[in-house]
Structure 1
Amino acid sequence: MSAFDMDELKDILRKMGGVDEADLDGDIADTEFAFLGYDSLALLELCSQVERRYGVQISDEAVLDMPTPAKAVDYVNSLLTAKAGA
């Protein structure tokens, strides 16, 4: 399975809806999800979508480790790396 990247994250967020898609254009990597308009429930939905697409398990508490899109991408890739090594 390929690595998870910012484009994939943006695709999931766009499909989730709830915010102006223009807010996802440009460099959002270090912008907090809350500033982009995503609350904790939206982040749980993001995690659920990632779990389904990539077959990884993300705990609800992991949302705290993903305050920005860049941190989310890094976190998901760490799970994918661990899964590949298992």
Structure 2
Amino acid sequence: MSHTPFRVDDLRRILREGAGADETVDLEGEILDTDFDALGYESLALLETGSRIEREYGISLGDEALAPHTTPRALIDAVNGELAPAPRT
């Protein structure tokens, strides 16, 4: 079973759809290692983002993946970890 990786552009789209974008933050810039709180996304916005990701991709994310001190890179890695096919036994 293959999967399409979750990428930064997918995250940007979901952030904008769910929580909007702070006009002072350039989501098109280098955001991968910037904390979500520095990007203007507080815990409620991240909960909405997480819910959208879970529904759209059919996965479940842990609370630590959606903490305000987390970076987009960490969230993308968590999503892709959940999307990875289970090893065959």
TM-score, normalization: structure 1? 0.84
Compared with structure 1, are the counterparts of its residues 53 and 71 closer, same or farther at alpha carbon in structure 2 (3 Å cutoff)?
A: same
How far the C-alpha of 1:85 sits from its partner, in A, is: 1.2
> Aligned partners of 1:31, 1:75: CA distance in 2, in Å?
16
What is the aligned partner in structure 1 of residue 7 from structure 2?
A: 5
What percent identity do the matched residue pairs reach?
44
TM-score, normalization: structure 2? 0.81
What is the aligned partner in structure 2 of residue 19 from structure 1?
A: 22
Root mean square deviation, CA, Å:
2.2
Superimposed CA distance per residue, residues 18-38 of structure 1 (whole angstroms, 9 cap, x where no aligned partner):
522852121100010000000
Greater C-alpha radius of gyration? 2
Give the number of aligned pairs: 84
How far the C-alpha of 1:62 sits from its partner, in A, is: 3.6
Partner amino acid, structure 2, of 1:33: F
What is the aligned partner in structure 2 of residue 53 from structure 1?
A: 56
What is the aligned partner in structure 1 of residue 83 from structure 2?
A: 80
Structure 2: gaps of 5 or more residues: none
Partner amino acid, structure 1, of 2:26: D
Compared with structure 1, are the counterparts of its residues 35 and 22 closer, same or farther at alpha carbon in structure 2 (3 Å cutoff)?
A: closer
What is the aligned partner in structure 1 of residue 33 from structure 2?
A: 30
Contact 1:47/1:58 (8 A) holds in 2 = yes
Instruction: Give the number of the structure whose residues are more often helix, by fraction.
Output: 1
Which structure 1 residue ranges, 4+ long, deviate > 6 Å from structure 2?
A: none
